Structure 1
């Protein structure tokens, strides 16, 4: 390696709306960043992207990161994450021959029923029990039904990150168990469940090889280097989904630690030593490069209601007006869209309030509080399943820009919460790349060195009693509507003050 300066690790994040690249030093300094937009085609349940634009956007973002101050000669390794469940088919030469079916494309409803009927026992062993129609395997079956010649012509399943990795190294690549989880991969054994695929009529020839995240899969080839501005020979390691990448970027990699991401919706992801089995099919687990498991779930509540219900409002002023009203007796179940996925499954769930608000400030206070109560219920649910929840809680996501909401979440959880400085999926991939190379002593040490802390918020004991009472009331409302089981509610009430 030539060039002066510290070693760099490159992380690339393929999101829905764009690609972001960051070049990070081993002590967490961002020396270069880049971003390039992506466009989608949506109509009803259809959501597609042109896979060719993925590569163009990656080249643009990586080029910007290098131009911004990251010397490509110092980049030792890179990893790519992508949206979970997004896939396409490629021909023998690695060229995409179908559109990219995005993570929330919902056209494979019939195929999902078939997948669940024929793979019931396999999915139960995997811990999540059922696949959803937007998952990768139902969509693969959907594609093969529409391209019956695919296997004969040597076409192959490729997840979004696989498309980029192949372009980077210039040859066939295996897929990682994180991106392949929703395509049916058995992360415990790092194999495809051949009996299920045979029953579904999916030829083994369309399936790529499988490796764990962090496994070296090749080096940047000369052609890709010329397009992206990288140096030929730079190591490429298998990545993860964007949700797992965000977790690594938060620094929550030790057993018992949790990353709570509050953006449009609320996502909770943690670390367990063993695979977590959920009889309710609410939580599913990825495999960590360290050998641990990463259970988590995504709620349909979240901060997405802020833009919808308070469009045009001065959110800073509204937050200042709402703060003295907390805790508020107004209870809200703030669903962003109908139907709940986590911490319970209720397709018929709808948003509700316990009464009419007295002004916009109280309504906003109740929205923030309602999300915090659902976050607490998520923790109570995974605790009921046997997951350790005594480790660090790291808050990330767009809502962390609101300091009052951050403090409220600490008060409701009654535990310290931390906020990292540069948390993002691309940073998580840089951490993965560094951990894979061994120079920093593995994933946990790489995360500790590269994810820099910003601040820690302590809970205020004076707020505990009021929040416990409000939380218990909300549990009762959810049970009476038939959405939350009495068993889960009883367990959650055990943590409230007498």
Structure 2
């Protein structure tokens, strides 16, 4: 049996799978973030440990854990967890959605070596600019920093006593040479740090350590359970949904929107705001377009309309050609392809004929156009997408999924109901580490059905997307 632990911003989820990769138990413990100042987002690492203890005990209450062989870890990326020489936490972890380091990130991004080595823009949410912010604003804390860990890797330190990171998560720090899959001494030096302050690196499917005897005894685990390197949340989710080979991709319609494509080559294009990261498996990379409001945009409009989102989408009927109205879903800025933290959303070309149903279609179309932006950015680097699977709450809307299929001119697969998220992918990585298996066990999910493009509307969606792109340029000029 194998366990996956997925450390999310709002909760820590655990799943237990058997040798056939069937989920036999699961548990979740809630987490909260604090916002002590505008643009800040922090969590107490001690809360992660308490949550992990809760979910492990909850799994043990459902099933015996005596046959567990491996544990995999997944977690939200980019967080700065700062430790002193005794591995004591120096301050709350600065999270992925914290924007306090925007000035520092811009200064680092202006240094050509960062994009050249990492293959990515230095976004304000990445780890390295946060350390530069700490050095500037909390110098006493910075002077005591002996170790910097990503969130799930602090959980690993507690589980195993080992300070280890893996490639997919490390790629989001702005310190990793993503092509060489190693820390860059030059980039570390540029932020006042050294390799000695970084954890050692392993691949996501490799053994990173063993569960400490004290915890094994507490949870009813056998002695010597291995802990895999694991993966950043999206890379682990890709392992969970079987997107591990070039040509495979998933679109996630969660709070944010992600278009994630596996690649067997490193082919960055930082200027496009595409994330080019290592995958959680050896000799594999991935590219990712990220939009900040997908289902979040629909939920926002549902709140304004005073109706549940599911009710708004369930009666839309067959897919329609986009009309003149447009929605730009930049409610909190945008990443791919604009890297624009200041842009905000807009409705354009509204008229008296629009009711709640029509406005819902416009919102779904706007997010669809944003996903098309990510698709164009990814394929523009040479990444191919032959097979696309949809996950996340938004994928329950057939109307939305067919809009995406039509806009991308690509069939979209819908898996049978099941959990194919980060925790499941982490469990698969734990299985690989414990058994020596490889990517072959990260199989594509059973597909319930495939939604095909409406070819009669492909050109209409293409024209609407062109107007959408032009509208961003016009709106940006007004800010």
TM-score (norm 1): 0.87
Deviation at 1:223, TM superposition (A): 1.8
Deviation at 1:105, TM superposition (A): 1.4
Distance 2:117 2:196 in 1: 25
Distance 1:33 1:148 in 2: 42
Q: What is the match of residue 249 of structure 1?
A: 240
Query: CA, structure 1 residues 204+126, in 2 after alignment: closer, same or farther (shift >3 Å)?
Result: closer
Tell me, yes or no, if the aligned pair for 1:89 and 1:97 is still in contact at 8 Å: yes
Query: CA, structure 1 residues 297+393, in 2 after alignment: closer, same or farther (shift >3 Å)?
Result: same
Q: What is the match of residue 307 of structure 2?
A: 313
Q: How does 1:436-455 map to 2 (within 5 A)?
A: 436-439=433-436, 441-443=437-439, 445-448=440-443, 452-455=445-448
Bigger mean CA offset, 350-359 vs 292-301: 350-359
Q: What is the match of residue 174 of structure 1?
A: 164
Q: What is the match of residue 393 of structure 1?
A: 388
Among 291, 294, 299, the residue aligned to 1:299: 291
Deviation at 1:298, TM superposition (A): 0.6
Deviations 1:403-424 (A, max 9, x none): 3323333333332222233211
Unaligned runs of 5+ in 2: none
Q: How does 1:21-32 map to 2 (within 5 A)?
A: 21-32=14-25
Query: CA, structure 1 residues 263+153, in 2 after alignment: closer, same or farther (shift >3 Å)?
Result: closer
Tell me, yes or no, if the aligned pair for 2:275 and 2:288 is still in contact at 8 Å: yes
Deviation at 1:320, TM superposition (A): 3.8
Distance 1:91 1:459 in 2: 54
Deviations 1:111-148 (A, max 9, x none): 22343344x224224321x2012210011222344554
**Is it true that 1:433 corresponds to 2:427 in the alignment?**
no
Q: How does 1:258-337 map to 2 (within 5 A)?
A: 258-288=249-279, 289-311=281-303, 312-324=306-318, 326-337=320-331
Distance 1:315 1:148 in 2: 46
Deviations 1:326-365 (A, max 9, x none): 2342442341514322134444353233333521111112
Q: What is the match of residue 158 of structure 1?
A: 149
Q: Give SS of 1:380's match.
A: helix
Q: Which runs of 4+ in 1 moved over 6 A?
A: none
Deviation at 1:20, TM superposition (A): 0.1
Tell me, yes or no, if the aligned pair for 1:282 and 1:344 is still in contact at 8 Å: yes
Unaligned runs of 5+ in 1: 1-7, 485-498
Distance 1:24 1:135 in 2: 32
Query: CA, structure 1 residues 435+204, in 2 after alignment: closer, same or farther (shift >3 Å)?
Result: closer
Tell me, yes or no, if the aligned pair for 1:162 and 1:175 is still in contact at 8 Å: yes
Q: Give SS of 1:269's match.
A: strand
Number of positions where the alignment pairs a residue of Structure 1 with one of Structure 2 = 467
Q: What is the match of residue 345 of structure 2?
A: 350
**Is it true that 1:370 corresponds to 2:360 in the alignment?**
no
Query: CA, structure 1 residues 327+26, in 2 after alignment: closer, same or farther (shift >3 Å)?
Result: farther
Tell me, yes or no, if the aligned pair for 2:409 and 2:458 is still in contact at 8 Å: no
Q: How does 1:460-471 map to 2 (within 5 A)?
A: 460=453, 463-471=454-462
Among 79, 84, 104, the residue aligned to 2:77: 84
Distance 2:266 2:206 in 1: 21
Deviation at 1:317, TM superposition (A): 4.2
Distance 1:235 1:179 in 2: 19
Query: CA, structure 1 residues 481+39, in 2 after alignment: closer, same or farther (shift >3 Å)?
Result: closer
Query: CA, structure 1 residues 302+151, in 2 after alignment: closer, same or farther (shift >3 Å)?
Result: closer
Deviation at 1:65, TM superposition (A): 1.9
Deviation at 1:324, TM superposition (A): 4.1
Q: What is the match of residue 49 of structure 1?
A: 43
Among 99, 105, 109, the residue aligned to 1:112: 105
Distance 1:455 1:256 in 2: 20
Q: What is the match of residue 411 of structure 1?
A: 406
Distance 1:298 1:280 in 2: 14
Deviation at 1:13, TM superposition (A): 0.4
TM-score (norm 2): 0.90
Tell me, yes or no, if the aligned pair for 1:262 and 1:395 is still in contact at 8 Å: yes
Q: What is the match of residue 234 of structure 1?
A: 225
Q: Give SS of 2:455's match.
A: helix
Distance 2:216 2:59 in 1: 14
Please report the RMSD computed on the Cα atoms of aligned residues, expressed in angstroms: 2.5
Distance 1:56 1:336 in 2: 35
Query: CA, structure 1 residues 95+483, in 2 after alignment: closer, same or farther (shift >3 Å)?
Result: farther
Deviation at 1:31, TM superposition (A): 0.6
Deviations 1:291-337 (A, max 9, x none): 11111021134121222222241544432432246234244234151
Deviation at 1:290, TM superposition (A): 3.2
Tell me, yes or no, if the aligned pair for 2:203 and 2:229 is still in contact at 8 Å: yes
Distance 1:313 1:162 in 2: 41
Query: CA, structure 1 residues 350+25, in 2 after alignment: closer, same or farther (shift >3 Å)?
Result: same
Deviations 1:229-267 (A, max 9, x none): 433310011121112112222211111111110112211
Distance 1:135 1:164 in 2: 19
